[in-house]
Structure 1
Amino acid sequence: MYDVVLLTLGSGRDAPGGGCGSGGACCGGTDEAAAAQPAERCETPRVPVLACADALTARDARVETVTAHSDAEIDEVLARLDGPTRPDGLTWPDPDSKTRLVVATATDGQLRAVLRRLVRRYAPPPSRRPADLPDNRTVPDLPPIGVLPLDPARNGTARDLAAQLGLPRDPTAVADAVLDGTVRRLDLLRNDGSSVTLDGALLGAADDAGRPLHWRARVEVDGRILSHGEDPIMACVIGNAGGYARLDDVTLLADPDPTDGEVEVAVAVPVVTRSVLGRRRVRLEVRRARGRAVAVVPRDEKVPFLDDGVEGELNRKRSWWTEPGAWAVWTA
């Protein structure tokens, strides 16, 4: 018999974010996802959460639904996944845990908020790196998560991470996957801003008419330079999965794969050419590279970005690196 915690990120009077998404979907009020949350409040569990809880209970699982209004409340849930005390004193996940976690998500940013807290909980400090940690990782195998999309009716049209990964969206199917399914391990991007990326980051912005604004930055992937900092960049994508693979009708990422142990990076730069008749033409050149890590050094004061759908501004060097197979989902 399994203990299953159904975790929803909720709004609250003291939470630094809003409550309800489009269609009434309860959204998170945690630090990581706050920027993506609308301001309307909603405390009643969504129908998919209740349906999943009923399906789990019907399978004899002991179910608890938790709405977390802060990072501290997320941490209280994640502590249930801890393993036995280690001789080195590190907090480590229990690979044989009988507690399973389902995260109800209205946005990818909410799922990222939970993964960010998992990384903060289980990543050992560099000075205490244990011998049983893989050489290409800074975190152990994180506990697998069941993902419950709060808009299951969007199946077939959604472009969220659950849809990209082909995860079940129906609450009963999610319950079955958590109890009887298999674990699919996925790459995780960490960055030196103390956050994580599950899908990808899109750097750049557009004006009010939708035209891309040019900006400049040095972009380097494992020593390969995609831009030295002088080119007018229209967009830069740092991809783990394929959510930002295309921008309008332009293919940026050629073959994003969240299981290949690499980050794929693309930089779109306008290039001026002239025809044989001397006419000036502008074509878009997409430069791509794959590797373990990418560094972006902005030359402009601020570069807007979306990271797993959460808005931000880049005003200093930022590096992302791959943690192969670090996190996992329950799938059918």
Structure 2
Amino acid sequence: MATSATSDQLLVVIDPVARRTDGESVRIAKDVLSAGAHTKVCLPEGPEEFARALARRGSRRPVVIGDDRALVRAVSLLHRQRELAGCALSMVPVGGALSVARSLGVPTGAVAAARAVLDGVVRRRDLLVDESDGVVLGALCIPPVAVQAPAVEAGRPWLRTAQSLVRTLVPARETSVPAPRPARLRVEVDGVTLLDLDQPVEAVTVTPGDCGLAEIEVRPLSVGAEASPVRAQGRTVSVSGADFRYRADAGVWGPVRRRTWTVWEGAWGLTVPAS
């Protein structure tokens, strides 16, 4: 379901990593937004200032300029304040990790994304929420797969600085990614066991759907002939077993022995292009 993004009063929150990694894209986005709406610009230096800026938004529509981590941080804050239902978010993706924003339909160019903020529509989306109030916007994967930075970035001092800054902003429970290995996990969907501990698994993926149901795919570890993936839909997904880590959106979490995710239907709104 989509509705028009009506407010012309914008709170533009510019993530510090975006300012340091691509100041030119930030400037372009800010100019386009300022030309099309009344804007208040905030330049938080850390998570606390980021949270205060969102909390003091008043009637202004929040616009995050930053990467996937910044978007997840904004959704997490609003969810914990139970203000997601009445607050549509907009985003101008700037930074290195933009796969979640791209998968959600947000343009990755500064000009196109800023114009979508001004002229786009708000699309309601499902959210995965775990028992500790953690949120997942896109897919989660067990075990996590390491994401390698492109080789051309290895010698860039500004990138190393940005990566160092990211590490200071990441919550303590996020962890590094170990080498993937087969796992023995129990996967339950709406209380029904989909796969049990006696069958080692290669991967589990869970993705929010569009109608209150999550899409679950379990890939059993194949021996000899390739094993077919097991697929299901459900409102709750529980994974338990030996300590495991998982990648969700822009971070890696764990280790945990059990985690349950519940689908919150239409829990949050994101502005995307009208067509």
| Cα RMSD, aligned residues only | 2.7
Residue by residue over 1:238-284, the C-alpha shift from the partner in whole angstroms, topping out at 9 and shown as x without a partner, is 112xxxxxxxxxxxxxxxx4x22211111111244xxxxxxxx2423
Which residue matches 2:193? Answer: 225
2:40 paired with 1:64: yes
**What secondary structure is seen at the aligned counterpart in 2 of 1:49?**
helix
Question: How many Å separate the matches in 2 of 1:270 and 1:2?
Answer: 52
Residue by residue over 1:168-220, the C-alpha shift from the partner in whole angstroms, topping out at 9 and shown as x without a partner, is 3333333332233211111111111221000021111579xx98511111110
Which residue matches 1:73? Answer: 49
Which residue matches 2:81? Answer: 121
Question: How many Å separate the matches in 2 of 1:161 and 1:56?
Answer: 22
Post-superposition shift, 1:142? 4.3
Which residue matches 2:9? Answer: 3
Letter paired with 2:80:
R
Alignment CA distance shift 1:141-1:211 (3 Å) = closer
Paired residues of 2:90 and 2:271 also in contact (CA < 8 A): yes
Q: TM-score, normalised by structure 2?
A: 0.76
Paired residues of 1:260 and 1:324 also in contact (CA < 8 A): yes
Q: TM-score, normalised by structure 1?
A: 0.64
Alignment of 1:104-119 (within 5 A): 104-106=65-67, 108-119=68-79
**Structure (1 or 2) with the greater helix fraction:** 2
**What secondary structure is seen at the aligned counterpart in 2 of 1:122?**
coil
Paired residues of 2:11 and 2:57 also in contact (CA < 8 A): no
Question: How many Å separate the matches in 1 of 2:227 and 2:57?
Answer: 48
Largest Rg, 1 or 2: 1
Which residue matches 1:102? Answer: 63
Question: How many Å separate the matches in 2 of 1:7 and 1:74?
Answer: 7
Which residue matches 1:144? Answer: 88
Paired residues of 1:216 and 1:230 also in contact (CA < 8 A): yes
Paired residues of 1:270 and 1:282 also in contact (CA < 8 A): no
Question: How many Å separate the matches in 1 of 2:145 and 2:42?
Answer: 39
Question: How many Å separate the matches in 2 of 1:171 and 1:159?
Answer: 12
Paired residues of 2:93 and 2:113 also in contact (CA < 8 A): no
Which residue matches 2:271? Answer: 330
Paired residues of 1:189 and 1:197 also in contact (CA < 8 A): yes
Question: How many Å separate the matches in 2 of 1:49 and 1:287?
Answer: 43
Q: 2:230 aligns with which of 255, 262, 287?
A: 287
Question: How many Å separate the matches in 2 of 1:202 and 1:328?
Answer: 23
% identical aligned pairs: 29
2:29 paired with 1:52: yes
Residue by residue over 1:146-182, the C-alpha shift from the partner in whole angstroms, topping out at 9 and shown as x without a partner, is 111115xx9xxx9712222332333333333223321
Structure 2 unaligned blocks of 5 or more: 1-6, 147-177
Which 4+ runs in 1 deviate beyond 6 A? none
**What secondary structure is seen at the aligned counterpart in 1 of 2:41?**
strand
Which residue matches 2:221? Answer: 270
Alignment CA distance shift 1:233-1:162 (3 Å) = same
Structure 1 unaligned blocks of 5 or more: 11-18, 20-24, 27-41, 83-96, 124-139, 241-256, 273-280
Question: How many Å separate the matches in 2 of 1:77 and 1:308?
Answer: 23
